Structure 1
Amino acid sequence: MPNPLRCTASKTWSEQPPTCELIQCEKLLQPESGSMNCSDPLGSSSFRSTCVFACDEGYELAGSTSNTLQCEASGRWNASQPRCAVVRCPELNYLENGVIRCGDDTETKFSYGNTCSFTCEPGYQLVGPSSATCTSAAEWSQQVPRCEAITCQSPEFDAHLIARCSEPLSDLRPNSTCSFSCEPGFELQGAQMTQCSEDGRWIEAVPTCKAITCPAPETPTRGQISCSPSLSYPVSPGTPHPLGTVCTFSCDEGHELQGELSVECAHPGKWTSRAPTCTAVRCSLLEAPENGRINCSTNEPVFNSQCSFTCDQDFTLDGHELLTCDRHGNWTGQNPTCQASSSKVAAITTGVTAGGAALLSGLSLAMWILKRLKRKATKFELNSNSDIDIPPQSYRNSIDSLI
């Protein structure tokens, strides 16, 4: 307790009156990799001064129980000054069948911002991230991966594909092989063999099996086609047909098939014969009747063609005026004829009568001459000793012609 002041005879106080000084605390320093923010209501680092500390990203306060310090009446801060220490993540030391690499500096290898990489031993592949980084939250950015034995995925086989693999499908390791073939009626589309590579991929894509088909047969003009078995999917004019398909052909009315009635799709995707054609049925060739004319609708006497007939003047048609070639190759009637009309017949008869009379007169004369010659011949019957010559041959011929 300070001494009391006394007033002396010299009219002065025995001591200088005391003064009150502001209590000061030790000056604080801003931490490395951090910040300090102080509030000084009475004076810098004095009684009731308050300082708040914070650290940069990747760092955390250390060495103090509080991030806020206050200068007390005792002239001391209520806690020790903190510092900023780098954040550290849990150590990564083991990866089964693999290796972790985090750097050579033991002080920083698991510190904020440092990255660790992961690799696997030969024959194994990484399942998960290939690296992880230590974050400001003292956690790794990724989960530690695992190393898994490399195998090729079991191939997805086509419905008609036959596969033979060197290892079980559940354990197709690198260098395993699979060979392929197809069921009968199908052909392989792709490689006949593939191999599992070191990175677990098939060197060649797994092939597929395609049905062996024949190109759609051409439907004959003026005809139809019917195939069995019928296809179970939508069919267009160009849809191919599988092996064993039999296609039968038919023709429209009045047409006949030229070629095979049916064809079959056979290996290796070819029809047993060419598709047939349909040709129009033909009738016999008609001729114009004597003393008449014919007019046909087509140049060739085919199905449905028609021929009409007309006669010259003074002649009339006997028979059908119009004939049609039917679907069997026959005309619908007999070939007609042209007959002379009645006036024409009368004129012909008159001419024949006059000519006949003249002819009869000539014949009568010829008969009379013949009789005379025969009488004379009897008068000259010759014996073997006769020296009379035989009548000339020309004469005899003339006689025979009259008889």
Structure 2
Amino acid sequence: MILLGYTVLLLLWTCTAEKDCETPPPRRTKEILTGTWDKASYPHGTSAIYNCRPGYIKLGRVTFECTNGVWKHLHPYVECRNKPCGHPGDIQFGSFELTAGTEFVFGARVEYKCDEGYQMLSQRNFRECQADGWSNELPHCEVSKCLPVNAPENGNILVAGVYETDQEFSFGQVVQFECNKDYKLSGSKEIHCSADGHWNAAVPTCIGEKKIIF
């Protein structure tokens, strides 16, 4: 009878005994496991603590525990989140848009473009939120420039009512032409510096007027 009682107790203990975890704690995308995990099994109740990978932050401890053969995330549920980079910065004569991500956090990307009539001087027009902050320097936009124009033969160039020669012009500037006495203008009387840095028309020419002799 006593032997039967011990047998029953042994069976009950065997059925209720907690199982070990036969695999290491799970690998995580944003977190990295601390310590060494090279055993064949891990006893029930074993805790595994994670740290955030570069580019991520946490507001608590990320912990898993072996519970009856299964690794479970302990409550309160804490995980690593993308590290914020703050505002990427505005540029003069330009703007930006968020092309990757929805917030200014690790993994986000913003692309800059210049306003009409301005050209980007920087080699890179983007910034990416990395583990140590925003990449690259802020891009720089400069007003588009048109090359100097030569006055037509037998004519002159006027800019804002003043004769000008051999000067560079910026987007939106207008150059007017006039011919000397006894010459007539053939072509556009004025041209303007376009947003792409080119003149919108060719320089006109001055043609001598034919005089009628009686």
> Helix, strand or coil: the match of 1:213?
coil
Distance (whole Å) between structure 1 residues aligned to residue 184 and residue 171 of structure 2: 28
Which of residues 103, 120, 127 is equivalent to 1:257? 120
- Cα deviations by residue, 1:92-148 (Å, 9 ceiling, x for unpaired): xxxxxxxxxxxxxxxxxxxxxxxxxxxxxxxxxxxxxxxxxxxxxxxxxxxxxxxxx
Provide the residue aligned with 1:183 in structure 2. Answer: 52
Distance (whole Å) between structure 2 residues aligned to residue 225 and residue 333 of structure 1: 32
Correspondence 1:277 to 2:148: no
> Helix, strand or coil: the match of 2:145?
coil
| CA distance 1:342–1:215, change in 2 (3 Å) | same
For residue 211 of structure 1, report the CA deviation from its aligned partner.
Answer: 5.9
Q: Is the 8 A contact 2:110 2:128 kept in 1?
A: yes
Distance (whole Å) between structure 2 residues aligned to residue 161 and residue 336 of structure 1: 69
Matches within 5 A, 1:313-328: 313-328=181-196
For residue 188 of structure 1, report the CA deviation from its aligned partner.
Answer: 7.8
Provide the residue aligned with 1:248 in structure 2. Answer: 111
Q: Is the 8 A contact 1:161 1:183 kept in 2?
A: yes
Q: TM-score, normalised by structure 2?
A: 0.55
> Helix, strand or coil: the match of 2:170?
coil
Provide the residue aligned with 1:212 in structure 2. Answer: 83
Which of residues 87, 93, 116 is equivalent to 1:222? 93
Matches within 5 A, 1:65-84: none
Larger helix percent: 1
Provide the residue aligned with 1:336 in structure 2. Answer: 204
Provide the residue aligned with 2:75 in structure 1. Answer: none
| CA distance 1:211–1:229, change in 2 (3 Å) | closer
Read off the aligned partner of 1:264 and give its amino acid letter.
E
Distance (whole Å) between structure 2 residues aligned to residue 296 and residue 272 of structure 1: 43
Identical aligned residues as a percent: 26
Distance (whole Å) between structure 1 residues aligned to residue 153 and residue 89 of structure 2: 47
Q: TM-score, normalised by structure 1?
A: 0.31
Provide the residue aligned with 1:105 in structure 2. Answer: none
Larger strand percent: 2
Larger Rg: 1
Distance (whole Å) between structure 2 residues aligned to residue 285 and residue 230 of structure 1: 45
Distance (whole Å) between structure 1 residues aligned to residue 193 and residue 57 of structure 2: 51
Distance (whole Å) between structure 2 residues aligned to residue 316 and residue 255 of structure 1: 36
Matches within 5 A, 1:2-401: 182-184=51-53, 185-186=55-56, 212-227=83-98, 228-231=100-103, 241-259=104-122, 260-269=124-133, 271-296=134-159, 300-343=168-211
Read off the aligned partner of 2:128 and give its amino acid letter.
E
- Cα deviations by residue, 1:45-91 (Å, 9 ceiling, x for unpaired): xxxxxxxxxxxxxxxxxxxxxxxxxxxxxxxxxxxxxxxxxxxxxxx
> Helix, strand or coil: the match of 2:169?
coil
Distance (whole Å) between structure 2 residues aligned to residue 288 and residue 339 of structure 1: 13
For residue 287 of structure 1, report the CA deviation from its aligned partner.
Answer: 1.4
For residue 210 of structure 1, report the CA deviation from its aligned partner.
Answer: 8.8
For residue 181 of structure 1, report the CA deviation from its aligned partner.
Answer: 7.4
For residue 161 of structure 1, report the CA deviation from its aligned partner.
Answer: 10
Distance (whole Å) between structure 2 residues aligned to residue 291 and residue 265 of structure 1: 59
Q: For CA contacts below 8 A with separation 6 or more, give which structure has more relative contact order.
A: 2
How many residue pairs are counted as aligned between the two chains? 141
For residue 290 of structure 1, report the CA deviation from its aligned partner.
Answer: 2.1
> Helix, strand or coil: the match of 1:224?
strand
For residue 218 of structure 1, report the CA deviation from its aligned partner.
Answer: 2.4
For residue 274 of structure 1, report the CA deviation from its aligned partner.
Answer: 1.1
- Contiguous gaps of at least 5 residues in structure 2: 1-29, 35-48, 60-79
Q: Is the 8 A contact 1:212 1:268 kept in 2?
A: no
Distance (whole Å) between structure 1 residues aligned to residue 201 and residue 114 of structure 2: 25
- Cα deviations by residue, 1:226-253 (Å, 9 ceiling, x for unpaired): 123122xxxxxxxxx2111100111222
Distance (whole Å) between structure 1 residues aligned to residue 90 and residue 159 of structure 2: 31
Read off the aligned partner of 1:261 and give its amino acid letter.
N
| CA distance 1:300–1:217, change in 2 (3 Å) | farther
